[in-house]
Amino acid sequence: MARKGNKVQKSRSEINQQKKTERLLLAVLVQNTGSEMPIPCSFCKTEKRTCKVLSSKASRCSECIRRKCACNALTPLADQWDEEMPRASDLEALEEEIKKAAAAEELAVEKQREAFEEMVFQKRKQKELSARRLALAERGLRYLDELDALEAKEAEATFGPVASPGVIFDFPSPSASFLEALGAGGETPQAAQGN
Ligand SMILES: [Zn+2]
Ligand SMILES: [Zn+2]
């Protein structure tokens, strides 16, 4: 039992030693290959050390790895604001982003307005074109009517009056005796006596 206990303790200390070695190696690696943070973590700031981190996903700087303490070198901007005065450049950058978003929104609204105006314009154009088509068709019909009338007149001039529907006296001329019976005398009620 005791042996077993010693064995466990030994292995624990071994593990601790191994961890310590690993930590130091890691610290050296970060120290040599990491990039320096423009704003050092609280520890490096206080101790005036060079604060270096391996990547943007690293959780600790080289010094904090070595010291085995929590590091705030890479805490997000929002969290940093809790501890530090906001930098003017951060505010300016945000101001710029807000302006850009507002401008983009304005542009989108303008485009939407233009699209709406275009739609209204095209609708009106369709209406106007339809009206013109109708007017053109009506003019064509009128022209046809005039042409027909002219042709009829020419035919009449050439071949004499032509019976046409709509003329009341569209039947054979009444006989003289029939007219006498009516007491109309010699007058013949002929409508279109060609002139
Ligand atoms: Zn640091
Ligand atoms: Zn740190």
- What spacing in Å lies between the alpha carbon of 38 and ligand 2's midpoint? 12
Q: What is the predicted pLDDT for the residue at 43?
A: 93
- What spacing in Å lies between the alpha carbon of 49 and ligand 2's midpoint? 9
Q: Which residues pair with 52 in a beta bridge?
A: 36
Q: What is the predicted pLDDT for the residue at 79?
A: 47
- What spacing in Å lies between the alpha carbon of 65 and ligand 2's midpoint? 7
Q: What is the predicted pLDDT for the residue at 115?
A: 96
Q: What is the predicted pLDDT for the residue at 186?
A: 46
Q: What is the predicted pLDDT for the residue at 168?
A: 53
Task: Please tell me the number of the ligand nearest to residue 48's CA.
Answer: 1
Cβ(130)–Cβ(136) below 8 Å = no
How many Å apart are CA 128 and CA 134, to the nearest integer?
10
Q: What is the predicted pLDDT for the residue at 49?
A: 93
The number of residues in the chain equals 195
Which DSSP symbol is given to 35?
A: E
- What spacing in Å lies between the alpha carbon of 70 and ligand 1's midpoint? 10
- What spacing in Å lies between the alpha carbon of 44 and ligand 2's midpoint? 6
Cβ(148)–Cβ(164) below 8 Å = no
- What spacing in Å lies between the alpha carbon of 11 and ligand 2's midpoint? 30
Q: What is the predicted pLDDT for the residue at 91?
A: 75
| Residues having C-beta closer than 5 Å to ion ligand 2 | 41, 43, 61, 64, 71, 73
Low-confidence stretches of the chain (pLDDT < 50) are 1-4, 78-82, 185-189, 191-195
Q: What is the predicted pLDDT for the residue at 174?
A: 57
